[in-house]
Structure 1
């Protein structure tokens, strides 16, 4: 029997107050679920429930109690079917949900309850208050872009350093929870999220954060169902425009990583749309190959370095962006020295794997390719004024040499590649990602090395036979900053560079989460007598105007590296997940191949037995053939005899048919004769009857006639006797 509404609210009040004798939270949740399941939603007013909940919160609310916050979140979550989305948006978000998302002490279950409440309100499950849901969605996105910690903001980094650990945890949890909300909402309603992000993407200061969020979104497992939607959405065109126009190396690096992850996803879920994007993708590739770094110029007024960005592909004066695009270029994200451009290697690998013939045709003759496709330029000038064909070919040659020859360039051309069925039509995302990576020569070398190591694992080597690769790796010495000037060995620089670029396993000794204090010491700061540099002032103790330029540049450089490392980590996590799926599929195929090999061996043994049986059967077959030949001859003779008999029977049948026809004719005539005779017989019977009748009628006459005849005869005899008597006389 479910509880009545007043009794239920009284139990909620007792549980939140923590009164003695109150039911446990689990019992209360079970009672709420039973009440929601049984009660008719039309018979219960959501306004009454919300008013009673407000009264309970006003009377017993204790913002310092995590237990009470978790209990109230659980109550709201399980009463969700009876609450309107407007109440969650206008009332409970500011009272309960937003403080809960900032509180690191709450349990995971409580945070999940708050997240689900917000996501359900964003989805507007009751199909009411659509405008409020849209405003609430825009508000959540604004919180993430403007209120949460921004890795691309120098002011946020400085203010972050001034915070204590508790406040850092609160801001960290706030951003993580906002990300979780947006990602979960994007999985359920991708179009709405992409629409909101596209509206914010026009702001250059928010562009990097949006790209980072999209990177996280594309890495989530639920994104694959939304890949086809993103392919046709204007946000994709804006990302392509950003990669073609923006000069920020950080934003372009994050956007490029996003684009690399989208390539295999679109190849599987939106192949035709991906083919339409090929010219734009090739233009992005050409810009990455011919990326122009910012030129650092010394300002004579104060002696500082000023970075002048180069425009698009070549070093000509800045071209104007087409006004109908309404695009504001993002020049730089961090106030740091000129950073190298994003590497096109990974993007080239995936694009070359999917469309090798188009890539080669574009690199061979870019202007001829663009004249055929006619993609629209984002600038007021054409592609001939933007692309340096000689530079593009020269820099692309290194990429081509570092990749294997794709086999499809022999069997297809660029036109067939966009019209014929794709070779990856039956592939999944993990297989495309893994096979594309294997086109890179470095990855191929690693795979061959692993294969050789596995092959040679059981082999025995003498110490003199050990190669250079078998020698233990040396460690790189730490940088000496004791004198205030970094002392780095040239050999250590070479060793570090080679180790980082060789894709080998690297162990970082004694990693630290703090930035070295010596990094923020100006080169002009005098050293102490003991050789130790003077301790710099705290960054947080000065205003942004008093921070020295070298500290600002160091912070910006570290921010740039941090964003790129997080971006790289995000991509590696995505790629590792795809590789694990591909490895699982390969392992399954390996298990199947082993089972197939065992089955093949068993079939081979059976085959040998079958061959012996086949020899015996062939011998029997020859005997059967001879018998069959003899039987065939006998059959031919028998068939001839039967044919003769058949002809005789046919002739006999023909005669019988003729005789039958004659008999039928005779039968017809006999029937006609019988009919005529019957008629005659009837007539004769009638005549006989009439005669008999007449006879009976005239019988007495006949009898008298006979008497008369007798009398006549007697008279005649008497007359004759008389005559005789007369004559005798």
Structure 2
């Protein structure tokens, strides 16, 4: 297949030609083109879009999105970002009536462009990420902005659906991108977090991000990221109770994740977490304004600092931009119960030590005060102790207080290593007496309900179960759902004057639009009411988000418990079966043993009787054998006495024979010794003669050497005399030479003879040593005194 065939079939489908193929066949053509990227030209697809596609028809958008989704492997990020995003993907994300698969295709195309690793488009992808964040912060509805809320109230249902769909799809894309590239996502959020007007919206986005099931391992990336510091700074410095409430929910969800995956970073945040807890605990609630119509404009315009809670000023070097009130004078303050419960579970000893002396603890930990005046002026120790006392009374005693101290909690790096988030969350909630009492109340009901009330509750439960079941089935299905929004108008009590009380009958209320044509400017009471309702919606949504997250973690924990219960039940059944089989085997074995025991008893009786008979026979045989043995012994003794004298003579003869043999042997040894002694004497005499001869020859050699030396000295003297005289007779020289030669020959002969004599002397010495060794070895036999034979 070629791009031409794909283009032709697309044109046929868009023009609704009768010979057009089905969408499945068209997508198979697109899949075949993916294997040959060189045959695809994005300009051809753009031409088809410009010429044929009708944006008013959703079917055209669905077909085009399906084709682009199947071609996403060969579409470059530049093409998706610069062309397809503005003309196809962005309108698709705004259209609430578009089919769910098509919306999914649009999201996947955007994520494919963001996920590309091609270095050529790195800068373009980064700009596109920034653009997506700008669209989310500026184009989508900002629930924390009064202007956006009022604009939302003016819209009809179709426009509201479009805005809600646009924001939901953008959130889905950004959350999916945050799961794939968490570092880049956190960096982008951190860059936009410094703008106060966008902070609440980003906090709501982070609330959704941290509630994702796949976020738990990403907490280790968030812990050292600057975004974590920005989130803590928002809780420390911002004055918006709504923002702090949502941020506090995020922090509460992060605490168990950080304890499991980033315990070291969490311990370094302990001083900041304690200060955040104290700030939420000592939050000054704002007094609501009176609703007198005459003073309404004045009170709203003249809101002075005297009515507002005092906020410590930051140091000049701290460039944090505070987020002020978002929804006007909101009387409610953020709740510090949850963060106290989690901090009390994770670090009980450090928390109690901090509550006893907050200033000393922060100074000891080296945490500098960001406020002007230091910790002594920023913290009121008595107020902290008073308010924290109620929180401590609402919690049970932590067992780790007995086993650890404050330093031990910080020095043990692997304490939470074997825990999981679900376990930490469930055990944390168990410290709160409210949850414990609810659990006990559910386990042990105290009141008996009225039968009619029970029937009504059963009917309500059945109805809600049916509704929930139907909703679950519809949500899990892939069909497109069309919801009919409630078009109930805003209650007229919001727009009535303040002197109208809420006790007026509903019949007197007038159903009218929120914004009339002749009244373009909404009253301030309407703005305050809408802002208050919007704040309640955000807080309720935040509460619901946290409860869903907590329910999911509890469900995970219960699922583990359920798995353990199933496994234990299976083991119990196996043990019961084994016990039953063992019991049956024991019964069979007992009966078998009883049978064997009876057999053994009968066999034992037979053995006893047989042993008695054998014992009698044995005694009779022993008596017979004993009598025969005694008779044989008597005969042998008689025979020995008869032949005893012969035996004695035989022993005497044997002794004499042995003595004669010894005497012969000793005689022969004595002759050998005498011969060896004579030989030894001869050798000694010969050795002495050789030694004398050697001495004589050595003396002759010394004489010859002296003669040679004298002759040499004479020759040297004569040579010197001849040199002095200047001539030397030839005859004298020849004579001296001949004498010298004769002396040299004689000396050589004497040396040779001397050498031979020395060798003979050495041989004689060796022989002498051998003889001595032989003599010393035979000395015991030679000199032993002969023993006279003794006849026994």
Instruction: Give the distance between the partners of 1:423 and 1:226, measured in 2 at CA.
Output: 20
Which of 322, 325, 337 is 1:329 aligned to? 322
Change (3 A) 1:599 1:14: same
Instruction: Give the distance between the partners of 1:5 and 1:548, measured in 2 at CA.
Output: 61
Instruction: Give the distance between the partners of 1:389 and 1:469, measured in 2 at CA.
Output: 51
Change (3 A) 1:328 1:599: same
- Select between 322-331 and 138-147 the one with higher mean Cα deviation: 322-331
Tell me the alpha carbon deviations over residues 585-606 of structure 1, each in whole angstroms, 9 at most, x when there is no partner: 1111122232343455566678
Which of 99, 102, 116 is 2:108 aligned to? 116
Correspondence 1:88-99 to 2 at 5 A: 88-99=80-91
Structure 1 position 311, deviation (Å): 12
Give TM-score scaled by structure 2 length.
0.65
Q: Secondary structure at the match of 2:68?
A: helix
Tell me the alpha carbon deviations over residues 19-58 of structure 1, each in whole angstroms, 9 at most, x when there is no partner: 2211111111112112212x1x4x44x6xx1210111011
Structure 1 position 610, deviation (Å): 9.2
Which of 232, 250, 253 is 1:258 aligned to? 250
Tell me the alpha carbon deviations over residues 100-150 of structure 1, each in whole angstroms, 9 at most, x when there is no partner: 111111111100110011111122343322111111101111111111111
Q: Secondary structure at the match of 1:198?
A: helix
Which of 16, 19, 38 is 2:17 aligned to? 19
Residue equivalent to 2:513 = 538
- Select between 539-548 and 353-362 the one with higher mean Cα deviation: 539-548
Structure 1 position 534, deviation (Å): 5.3
Residue equivalent to 1:84 = 76
Which of 292, 298, 303 is 2:298 aligned to? 303
The answer for unaligned runs of 5 or more in structure 2 is 457-485, 594-792
Tell me the alpha carbon deviations over residues 391-433 of structure 1, each in whole angstroms, 9 at most, x when there is no partner: 0010000100001111001000111111125543212211211
Q: Secondary structure at the match of 2:73?
A: helix
- Select between 599-608 and 163-172 the one with higher mean Cα deviation: 599-608
Correspondence 1:54-203 to 2 at 5 A: 54-203=46-195
Residue equivalent to 2:615 = none
Instruction: Give the distance between the partners of 1:23 and 1:442, measured in 2 at CA.
Output: 64
Q: Secondary structure at the match of 2:239?
A: coil
- The answer (yes or no) to whether the contact 1:294–1:307 under 8 Å persists in 2 is no
- The answer (yes or no) to whether the contact 1:295–1:310 under 8 Å persists in 2 is no
Which of 276, 292, 296 is 1:284 aligned to? 276
Instruction: Give the distance between the partners of 1:9 and 1:122, measured in 2 at CA.
Output: 27
Change (3 A) 1:531 1:321: closer
Tell me the alpha carbon deviations over residues 532-580 of structure 1, each in whole angstroms, 9 at most, x when there is no partner: 5453763323699832222121111101101101111111111111111
Change (3 A) 1:571 1:397: same
Residue equivalent to 2:522 = 547
Structure 1 position 65, deviation (Å): 0.6
1:522 to 2:520 alignment? no
1:556 to 2:531 alignment? yes
Tell me the alpha carbon deviations over residues 365-396 of structure 1, each in whole angstroms, 9 at most, x when there is no partner: 11121112122333233222211110001000
Residue equivalent to 2:569 = 594
Instruction: Give the distance between the partners of 1:172 and 1:145, measured in 2 at CA.
Output: 14
Instruction: Give the distance between the partners of 2:424 and 2:530, measured in 1 at CA.
Output: 38
- The answer (yes or no) to whether the contact 1:268–1:429 under 8 Å persists in 2 is yes
1:273 to 2:273 alignment? no
- The answer (yes or no) to whether the contact 1:526–1:534 under 8 Å persists in 2 is no
- The answer (yes or no) to whether the contact 1:101–1:173 under 8 Å persists in 2 is yes
- Select between 416-425 and 26-35 the one with higher mean Cα deviation: 416-425
Correspondence 1:327-406 to 2 at 5 A: 327-335=320-328, 337-406=329-398
Residue equivalent to 2:26 = 28
Correspondence 1:568-583 to 2 at 5 A: 568-583=543-558
- Select between 363-372 and 515-524 the one with higher mean Cα deviation: 515-524
Instruction: Give the distance between the partners of 1:377 and 1:404, measured in 2 at CA.
Output: 32
- The answer (yes or no) to whether the contact 1:204–1:329 under 8 Å persists in 2 is yes
Change (3 A) 1:521 1:175: same
Residue equivalent to 1:320 = 313
Change (3 A) 1:104 1:536: closer
Q: Secondary structure at the match of 1:424?
A: coil
- The answer (yes or no) to whether the contact 1:16–1:72 under 8 Å persists in 2 is no
- The answer (yes or no) to whether the contact 1:84–1:126 under 8 Å persists in 2 is no
Give TM-score scaled by structure 1 length.
0.71
The answer for unaligned runs of 5 or more in structure 1 is 457-465, 476-510, 617-729
Change (3 A) 1:437 1:129: same
- The answer (yes or no) to whether the contact 2:274–2:351 under 8 Å persists in 1 is yes
Instruction: Give the distance between the partners of 1:79 and 1:109, measured in 2 at CA.
Output: 16
**RMSD of aligned C-alpha atoms?**
3.2
Tell me the alpha carbon deviations over residues 439-489 of structure 1, each in whole angstroms, 9 at most, x when there is no partner: 110100111122224xx9xxxxxxxxx56999959x9xxxxxxxxxxxxxx
Change (3 A) 1:528 1:610: closer
Residue equivalent to 2:2 = 4
- Select between 439-448 and 596-605 the one with higher mean Cα deviation: 596-605
Structure 1 position 181, deviation (Å): 0.6
Change (3 A) 1:242 1:437: same
Instruction: Give the distance between the partners of 1:308 and 1:410, measured in 2 at CA.
Output: 50
Greater radius of gyration (CA): 2
Change (3 A) 1:412 1:113: same
- The answer (yes or no) to whether the contact 2:271–2:362 under 8 Å persists in 1 is yes
Change (3 A) 1:384 1:526: closer
- The answer (yes or no) to whether the contact 1:356–1:408 under 8 Å persists in 2 is yes
Instruction: Give the distance between the partners of 2:506 and 2:211, measured in 1 at CA.
Output: 49
Structure 1 position 243, deviation (Å): 0.5
Instruction: Give the distance between the partners of 2:582 and 2:71, measured in 1 at CA.
Output: 69
Structure 1 position 16, deviation (Å): 2.9
